[in-house]
Structure 1
Amino acid sequence: MTTRREHDLLGDRDVPAEAYYGVHTLRAVENFPISGTKISIYPDLIAALASIKLAAAKSNQELGLLDDVRANAIVAAAEEIRAGALHEQFVVDVIQGGAGTSTNMNANEVIANRALELLGRTKGDYHFLHPNEHVNMSQSTNDVYPTALKLAGYSGIMRLVDAMAVLRGAFEAKSEEFKDIVKMGRTQLQDAVPMTLGQEFSTYAVMLGEDEQRLKEAVLLVCEINMGATAIGTGINSHPDYAGLVCRHLRTTTGIPVVTAANLVEATQDCGAFVQLSGVLKRVAVKLSKTCNDLRLLSSGPRVGLGEINLPPMQAGSSIMPGKVNPVIPEVVNQIAFEVIGNDVTVSFAAEAGQLQLNAFEPIIAHSLFKSVNHLRSGCLTLAEKCVSGITANREHLRRGVERSIGIVTALNPYIGYANATEIAQQALVSNKSVYDLVLEKKLLTREQLDQILQPEVLTQPRSFAITSAGGKTEVVTVGPRQID
């Protein structure tokens, strides 16, 4: 393998001649053999770093700090990386010491060496175009890295919101399909009162819709950036107009509505936006996991469980039990949720551990957040495509369950009174007779009255009830919702 010699604070090192990264990246690869996962696993992060270097070069060029030849070469190299080129050259581990300096230097070196190539020069010819002096001009890791995390986080969150909308649509379609299927609702796993299967599935859609809105609110917090802060927020080594210019170029380049923080010293040390975002991701995960718990429970069986719905069979479920099929798609989404909840704990500890003017633990914050976002997105799309869209209902089983349930006695309270209803419920449980038959036996209501009271549309929505007698004829009157001014 041919090499080139590069120099840094610690001395000289041989770098592979064909590598676009340099000595700083080489040392980081050697120092942090932690996860075995390179930062290139997160394309949004690489694109964000390139966008920042592009915006910085254009700003420095406008301010007369960087000549046109070098600026244009840096911009061209950054554009290539934004388009997907050279991502394999981003080789430092996602978990690293140094507050993200290794990631920033990896970007500086790759862009510098590609820019040198575009200018017809050899890699490592830093006398002409230097990773620190030119690519990193007016910057510090301490403003570049958190800004890159925010840009990448914004892109990932918006894709997650889109995936959640797909899953919400799948639940909404099932809610409409199942709107006429009456079943027993349950509280504390005990029979409660009737509802429709459509109502049950609509709740999952509503929960997702609520969390889409919470994510859209939380993602606005990461639009506040600290570019121009340089080392600690004082803006040392940057032009007075640089912060405003680089923010403007970033908005134009990325389409993300970034704004410069009002106080750059505060913004450089504060990880509150990441904590808030992680908390909302945990909220999404918790509710999504609860939904998957419900799907597994409702589909349990097929013969001796609840067996109310059928999940589409995806694979054989056992190496020893023939014919067994397991709810593998909800199970994998449950596991994603567990991971996201754990990631939130990591983000919280890392944010709390910051000291004075900088948080050194943003790399693990980034890794945790990006995993949560990516896995939740994949989980939503997988759950929609491979599970929810194929769910079917066991209509007859659900109907029989309602007919046999003691819970429907609750609907009779307004007509026969709580004491009579309690007695009917107890007798039904002991005798295994239906509530319907016992009410008729005791002549508490007529068959016609019972049939009217126990109509599905009466059982599953608010109604006002009364029993009236007129001309010797007794009837049940139900009154629907009225407009209240």
Structure 2
Amino acid sequence: MAAEISFRTEHDLLGDRDVPAHVYYGVHTLRALENFPITGSPISVYPELIKALACIKQAAAQANHELGLLDATRCDAIVGACAELLEGKLHDQFVVDVIQGGAGTSTNMNANEVIANRALELLGKKKGEYQYLHPNEQVNIGQSTNDVYPSALKVATWFGILGLIDAMAVLRRAFEAKSLEFKDVLKMGRTQLQDAVPMTLGQEFSTYAVMLGEDEERLREAALLICEINMGATAIGTGITAHPDYAPLILKHLKEITGIPLVTAPNLIEATQDCGAFVQLSGVLKRVAVKLSKTCNDLRLLSSGPRAGLGEINLPPMQAGSSIMPGKVNPVIPEVVNQIAFEVIGNDVTVSFAAEAGQLQLNAFEPIIAHSLFKSVTHLRNGCLTLAERCVKGITANEAHLRASVENSIGIVTALNPYIGYANATSVAMEAHATGGRVYDIVLERGLLSEQQLDEILKPEVLTQPTPLYMPPKQ
């Protein structure tokens, strides 16, 4: 027989509601649960957001205490509750849906109620005894959802970006290791999927590392844009109900708590309505996704086969690839990263539309901006780590096949062009294509170069980097 659930009664502007006695959230959160049954994902799926809210509420309590607006006993209780949230406790009490109306008010009130009720317990009181410590009167003093929510989103995103940069560095180092391992493995480069000129497999893998390194820097640049917060703006940026000295004080405490080089926006009215920093960050995340997807396309193509494709590299087999074709193995890790990239590109479109849709002094659509950014950051981070650990580190090269492709390729005629001239090189290439013969053999048969000269010109170190023009000895 199920245990009987007890309730406590809470009141808001719409009237009284019974709230389960054991939960830390209150009536505002309860109504949001009923109003927004959208995704089935609560905001607790993004722990960085919960921790960011805790940082802001703690900093606000400390600032208001310094200003004489909050007594030491209540301040200490709020700070204690926030400390538990920063440790990862009570995150299951953040239950409102990630997509919600109200510009994030439900998220802010969920935080206010959880912190207030935990603080009441620390004071020796019961949940719901708000006459001793109130979610709005004490936890939310000097604040509005309109400065708390975007500021929390920026703090949370900063934490997320650091994690993503770390994951990208793991993947970059995996590619760098493969670049070193494959530095002497000769292969044919391709343009437009046609044979081009020789290169090494190490050079090919080095490009993937360089692309990641570039995007690590772009993310660091974008992160600086989200250091500007609007705490102290309250409703629309005028600072109504906040103490004149509140904004610099909460900034001081928030910087100490988070370690982030935060600054207060010079114009709080502008900062309260402008989502440009989120648009910029989303664009950089899309850049990361596009380049990462291109890399995964290459890995799938280079490993295609194993007999009827390019078959130049082998991806580590991770699972059976088919329920009907015995022995088939698919490039499942690059495929999942491709799909993450598609999602991030779509998230960027969502962020763009949501930022554009803001009206006058507030953007009501920041919850979907938050949801989109957190998904992109989280999934890209997981994708980079998965690609590094379960794919890149186990890649091997089919060296004999790669070397044979170079020797049999018509593309090496490009290397001979400075020595035999463009017309001769073109004629040799056409004959090789028509007959299936090797460029090397045709050049010898025509007497255009000697075997010694050909061997010198076609050395791997000559083929894969700029070198002084080789002049054939005088006859």
How far off its partner does 1:256 sit? Answer: 1.0
Distance 1:32 1:41 in 2: 16
Q: Deviations over 1:6-62 (max 9, x none)?
A: 000000000001111000000000000000000010110001101100000000000
Equivalent residue letter for 1:49: L
8 Å Cα contact 2:303-2:313 kept in structure 1:
yes
Q: CA deviation at 1:127?
A: 1.2
Number of the residue aligned with 2:126: 122
> Post-superposition shift, 1:299?
0.2
Residue 423 of structure 1, CA deviation: 0.3
Identify the residue that residue 287 of structure 1 maps to in structure 2: 291
> Mapping of 1:156-305 within 5 angstroms?
156-305=160-309
Aligned equivalent of 1:76, options 72, 80, 90: 80
1:266 & 1:74 partners in 2: Cα distance? 30
Give the match for residue 480 of structure 1.
none
Residues 335-356 of structure 1: CA deviation (Å, up to 9, x unaligned): 0000000000000000000000
SS at match of 2:143: coil
Is residue 411 of structure 1 aligned with residue 415 of structure 2? yes
Deviations 1:125-145 (A, max 9, x none): 111111001000000000000
* SS of corresponding position for 1:464: coil
Name which of 345, 351, 370 aligns with 1:347. 351
1:13 partner letter? R
Letter in 1 for 2:457: I
Deviations 1:73-106 (A, max 9, x none): 1111111111111111000000000000000000
Number of residues paired by the alignment? 471
2:439 counterpart (415, 435, 438): 435
User: Which of the numbers 385, 397, 406 marks the counterpart of 1:393?
Assistant: 397
Separation in structure 2 between the aligned mates of residue 194 and residue 85 of structure 1, nearest angstrom: 57
Q: Could you say which residue in structure 1 is the equivalent of 2:386?
A: 382
Aligned-residue offset at 1:468: 4.9
The CA RMSD over aligned residues, in Å, is: 0.7
* Contact 2:453/2:472, CA 8 A, preserved across alignment: no
Q: Does 2:56 match 1:55? A: no
Q: Structure 2, unaligned stretches of length 5 or more?
A: none
CA distance in 2 between partners of 1:371 and 1:141 (Å): 22
Partner of 2:156: 152
Residues in 2 aligned to 1:458 and 1:20: alpha-carbon distance in whole angstroms:
70
1:203-241 deviation line (CA, Å, top 9, x unaligned): 000000000000000011111000000000000001111
> Matches of 2:117 and 2:390 in 1, distance apart?
45
Q: 1:335 aligns with which of 328, 334, 339?
A: 339
> Which runs of structure 2 are paired with 1:125-140 in the superposition (5 Å)?
125-140=129-144
Stretches of structure 1 lacking an aligned partner (at least 5 in a row): 475-485
AA paired with 2:193?
L
Answer yes or no: is 1:31 the counterpart of 2:48: no
Report Cα offsets for 1:314-346 as digits up to 9, x if no partner. 000000000000000000000000000000000
AA aligned opposite 1:216: R
The one-letter code matched in structure 2 to 1:455 is K
Partner of 1:86: 90
**Matched position secondary structure for 1:467:** coil
* CA shift for structure 1 position 467: 2.0
3-state SS of paired residue (1:193): strand
TM-score by length of 2: 0.99
1:373 equivalenced with 2:377 (yes/no):
yes
Distance 1:143 1:236 in 2: 12
Q: 1:100 pairs with 99, 104, 109, which one?
A: 104
1:378-436 per-position Cα deviation (integer Å, ceiling 9, x unaligned) = 00000000000000000000000000000000001111000000000000011111000
Paired AA for residue 276 in structure 1 = Q
Determine the C-alpha separation between the residues in 2 that align with 1:78 and 1:453: 69
1:69 Cα shift?
1.1
Q: Distance in 1 between matches of 2:24 and 2:437?
A: 80
Residue 45 of structure 2 aligns with an amino acid whose one-letter code is I
Kindly provide the amino acid, as one letter, of the partner of residue 248 in structure 1.
Answer: K
Q: CA deviation digits over 1:422-452, x for unaligned, max 9?
A: 0000000111110000000000001000110
Distance 2:79 2:37 in 1: 32
AA paired with 2:186?
V
Q: Secondary structure at the match of 1:430?
A: helix
Output the TM-score relative to the length of structure 1: 0.97
CA contact (8 A) 2:333 2:387 kept: yes
SS in 2 for 1:184: strand
Does the CA-based 8 Å contact 2:186-2:460 persist in structure 1? Answer: yes
Offset of residue 463 of structure 1: 1.4
Once residues 444 and 157 of structure 1 are traced to their aligned partners in structure 2, the CA distance between those partners, rounded to angstroms, is 58
- 3-state DSSP of counterpart to 1:302: coil
Does residue 8 (structure 1) correspond to residue 12 (structure 2)? The answer is yes
What is the distance in 2 between the residues matched to 1:93 and 1:50? Answer: 18
CA distance in structure 1 between the aligned counterparts of 2:470 and 2:362, rounded to whole angstroms = 69
For residue 188 of structure 2, give the secondary structure of its aligned residue in structure 1. Answer: strand
Q: Give the deviation of 1:464 after TM superposition.
A: 2.1
Q: CA deviation at 1:466?
A: 3.8
Supply the AA of the counterpart residue of 2:71.
D
Q: Are the equivalent residues in 1 in contact too, given 2:410–2:439 (CA < 8 A)?
A: yes
Q: Distance in 2 between matches of 1:450 and 1:112?
A: 81
Identity %: 78
Aligned partners of 1:73 and 1:31: how far apart in 2? Answer: 31
The answer (yes or no) to whether the contact 2:457–2:470 under 8 Å persists in 1 is no
Amino acid at match of 1:102: S
Corresponding letter in the other structure for 2:444: L
- Deviations, residues 129-163 of structure 1 (Å, cap 9, x unaligned): 11001000000000000000000000000000000
Q: Distance in 1 between matches of 2:470 and 2:104?
A: 71
Partner SS, residue 306 of structure 1: coil
**How far apart, in 1, do the equivalents of 2:73 and 2:449 lie?**
93
In structure 1, distance between residues paired with 2:471 and 2:163: 55
